[in-house]
Amino acid sequence: MDKKATLRWYFGENRKEIHTRIVELVREMVKERTINVVTEKLPEYPFLKIRGEEYRVANIVKRELESMGIPYKEFSRAEGRPNVISRIGKNLNGKRLMMPAHMDIVPAGEGWETDPFEVVEKDGKLIGRGTLDNKGPLASILVAAEVIKKLGIDKELDGEIMIAALSDEEATDPDGTDYGIGYLVDEKLIDPTFAIVPDIGGNMKEIDVAEKGRAVYKITALGKQAHGSTPERGINAVYIMAKMVCELEKLKLDYQVHPVLGQPSLNLGEIHGGAAPNIVPGTCLIYIDIRTVPGMTKESILKQLQNCADSVPNGNFKIETQAWTEPHAIDPNNVLVHSIQRNASDVLGFEPKAFGMGGSTFAKGLNLNGVTAVGWGPGDDEAFHVSNEFVSIDQLIDFALMTCLIAVELLD
Ligand SMILES: [Zn+2]
């Protein structure tokens, strides 16, 4: 039998054992409350000493890799927030396929029917915070590594599979310091050729080949404070901002429709102004979040925002760029996308379609640094960051098999 046939046979013969193995791994990882929020919100989670505490899940990952006999390295920008990267195969000048999953989670939030940190298995699904985002897929790729090692396929690969359990995907402090993929990329600690990021949902039917960029602006209207009983002596910054908000609502951003990403978006997400009823507000500020498509530049967007500001009579505004990431898009006609499509058609009976999204994943940082990275994986889009988060166990098993098949094909 060839390697792919052997893998399909193995998963067929051992599906029950693999099911149990994945469920147990997810159960154990979900118990660890690796909640990642900005430092400012940390006091709301008194059981956390630092945000994320991803080391709790990393300990499980390392234990498993050790028992499989798979070597790994640990890279941490800060104590307690490790990135565990294992390598299976031969380190010739071959190709490397990275499978990165993140170990941090968002808070449980409200509305759960069961304990979010005790996995419940029901109707073929696992329910709990992190079952889909991203501990379930992490269990899948660990099991894929285990099977490849167990069957001795690692010795026949011309390249390496990098199973990566990463920190810091769900939150970024205002200082912008990244402890996960950004750190690994900045410090040149990883060198993959390809990456599949299982963090987009779509039930394995969609391949994320493009992600919009993100630009966040803080706009402050500057007025003049005065006593609330004599508003004529002040300049009310809220009234000025109200006019600016109307201009922004009418704003048509300059762009060219992108074949995959389509058009940009603009969201006015926050507004703050005033301190008390008896004070004329001297400032009022808003935050806007623009998702960009290729071709849009920092300068051109800033100019358009300035034009809005200039059209407000007697307006006085300060516009500051708070965050800027570039959009990225790869040609869907590439070997990685084709391999996913071919194997999914053969095994799952459908061909995943290339698409683009407004949100961003680890794929962005990788692509912007020359790695052919896509988002693809199990799970329903609607199950991310909500109460009663769930993932289909069958999809987790299938994803483990698909990881093996795609790795074998790309690294053959
Ligand atoms: Zn995620």
pLDDT (tens digit per residue) in 366-403 = 999 999 999 999 999 999 999 999 999 999 999 999 99
319 and 357 share one domain: no
pLDDT at 43: 95
Q: What is the pLDDT of residues 82-124, one digit of tens each?
A: 999 999 998 777 899 999 999 999 999 999 999 999 999 999 9
* Listed residues: CB within 5 A of ion ligand 1: 133-134, 199
Ligand 1 centre to CA of 156 (Å) is 32
Centroid of ligand 1 to alpha carbon of 169 (angstroms): 7
Residues 123 and 187 in one domain: yes
Q: Same domain for 75 and 221?
A: no
344 and 306 in one domain?
Answer: no
CATH number of the domain within which 248 lies: 3.30.70.360
User: What pLDDT score does 223 carry?
Assistant: 97
Residue that finishes a domain, picked among 292, 308, 325 = 325
375 and 247 in a single domain? The answer is no
Query: How far is ligand 1, taken at its centre, from the CA of residue 106, in Å?
Result: 9
Residues 363 and 231 in one domain: no
Distance 134 CA to ligand 1 centre (A): 5
Do 77 and 219 belong to one domain?
A: no
**55 plus 201 within the same structural domain:** yes
Residue 174 has a pLDDT of 84
Please tell me whether residues 167 and 111 are part of one structural domain.
Answer: yes
How many domains is the chain partitioned into structurally? 2
For residues 69 and 98, state if they share a domain. Answer: yes
3-state secondary structure the chain: CCHHHHHHHHHHHCHHHHHHHHHHHHHHHHHCCCECCCHHHHHHCCCCCCCCCCHHHHHHHHHHHHHHCCCEEEEECCCCCEEEEEEEECCCCCEEEEEEEECCECCCCCCCCCCCCCCEEECCEEECCCHHHHHHHHHHHHHHHHHHHHCCHHHHCCEEEEEEEECCCCCCCCCCCCCCHHHHHHCCCCCCCEEEECCCCHHHCEEEEEECEEEEEEEEEECECEECCCHHHCECHHHHHHHHHHHHHHCCCCCCCECCCECCEEEEEEEEECCCCCEECCEEEEEEEEEECCCCCHHHHHHHHHHHHHCCCCCCEEEEEEEEECCEECCCCCHHHHHHHHHHHHHCCCCCEEEEECCCCHHHHHHCCCCEEEECCCCCHHHCCCCCCEEEHHHHHHHHHHHHHHHHHHCC
pLDDT at residue 44 in the model = 95
| Cα-to-centroid distance, 3 and ligand 1 (Å) | 31
Same domain assignment for residues 115 and 168: yes
CA of 130 to the centre of ligand 1 (A): 8
Identify the domain containing residue 142 by its residue range.
Answer: 3-211+327-410
Confidence at residue 135, expressed as pLDDT on a 0 to 100 scale: 98
325, 353, 380 — which closes off a domain? Answer: 325
Task: Kindly state whether residues 233 and 321 are assigned to the same domain.
Answer: yes
User: How confident is the model over 114-133, as pLDDT tens digits?
Assistant: 999 999 999 999 999 999 99
In angstroms, what is the span from residue 362 Cα to ligand 1's centroid?
A: 9
Asked which of 305, 325, 345 is the last residue of a domain, the reply is: 325
CATH label of the domain that carries residue 42: 3.40.630.10
- Cα 211 to ligand 1 centroid, rounded to whole Å: 15
pLDDT in tens, 172-205: 898 889 999 999 999 999 999 999 999 999 999 9
What are 238-292's pLDDT values in tens digits? Answer: 999 999 999 999 999 999 999 999 999 999 999 999 999 999 999 999 999 999 9
Q: Confirm whether pTM is higher than 0.85.
A: yes
Residues acting as catalytic residues:
104, 169
